[in-house]
A and B are shown apart, each in its own frame.
Chain A
């Protein structure tokens, strides 16, 4: 309800107006979300869930949908650097909220594997969209979730039949091209893994110019019995961009889900992972790395809900904050009354490298079952002085030692990515952030090659 005409409210009206005219609300779900959105107030610092995330500066900008024409100007060589060229994969490229079939490359599939962009899937397999859309994302009362529901433009539908394994990774490449205004691009993904199936999904977000775009993504995932999904999300947009993403997973018995969230880009990025352990013996591994510099704000959020017995979950989130960057972690473990024998762990570690960098962490536990093992930990600190001294005593310069240790700190999370090409791609990015003191890029690459060969 719009109660008062604050700056936020004005933004809220500004935000809705252009879309109401331009986007026809095609189905009941969008209409429902739109109604819910109108009932939800724009988040401010007074909301507990937004306590440390100030999005007030969005209020003074006018927001308009991203332009398809801008996307059409993109040439293949501009997209090329963002693909993992040494990795065979299904690639789906999205620019400004639109699917680009000519840049995408989906290898021929058997009937048991469906990989399609959302608008195509709506006509070819409407029943899948109908069954799962909005059923896994149960956040409720979340502004950006409703916003996505009301105005999503494109997305992907992945459906694996029982006992099928998708041999090569699926790469979703999202690109943005902004212009003078703040632009909006949004995606809605549905990933359904049948019993005993397995897949690897990589999502990367990049900007093709320096203009600001607000990206809003909601992904809904179901892992059926014994299914396994490896999911990596890399947020590497320019430092004028806004990113609001949420991944919602429903885990059935004995299924495995692993998520690695890497955030290096964006002016403001906020990522939610909601995992619901529905089945006995399901397992969920969440990793995250947020490395911010300049004035970046990075928000990592997790909710792991244990509703079944014998399920395990583990979370490791690491932050490296430099310059005036701010890193937030908000993790929740919820163990319901019947989820006995649960094992749930959560660890958030942060490294502050500069005087004005900030970290806020909220690792929460809510436990209603008695026969459980749950723990969480959080730390904020600097590089280990003893480790620094050790390296220096062996002739490594202070700056080099610092960058080596910072790199090592991040490595725990990077190592959770099972795809070598993606890891290598990230190493280079991280090298540019922390490793400059270390030596030339060539030295670094040869080091990595040795490392890679050694594996």
Chain B
């Protein structure tokens, strides 16, 4: 629990036509090689936001190694469901599967629980778009907007003030961006500190479409909301 309250903030907002997820990356620095996160078939840059199944995106806060293990388990559970039932796993069922695993580690001695909280943003035909949160004890609950990690109290109260029940994905992206910029420790935002993802319905196929933004796309989004890091050199020149 302690590790989670220090972990990078992960924020989720449920909209009428989709779900939005954003996360603050903690592991950064000039010398960190980020080239891998720019390329690749996009399942995420591999720190905070992961594609768990074609209809569910997960955001993690806590011990990274534990989180990787849980993400792996979630992906297996989702594929197992696909094998047995030939359908995408319902979002709540996936959350339940992980919570059953997490709960097990609170019951028996000698083993350490997973130090991870997760947000699940997903879609299924039963309850349409959904947002769930699970903690290390194996408790889970559904939310309209919620936040885990550092400063989650501040973010939560900001969300409570600004959230409206008929919010669209477009507005939700704005809400998430504004809330993120206020809660994050750093004053300026950039793609090296932020991960971002949305889950919507494909207008043609009506199938869920998960989009985890690439670093370049995150920068475009930040510029759109005027939260991007100002080019310091440019400022110096004009001064």
**B partners with A:** no
> Residues on B close to A: CB < 8 A?
none
> Residues on A close to B: CB < 8 A?
none
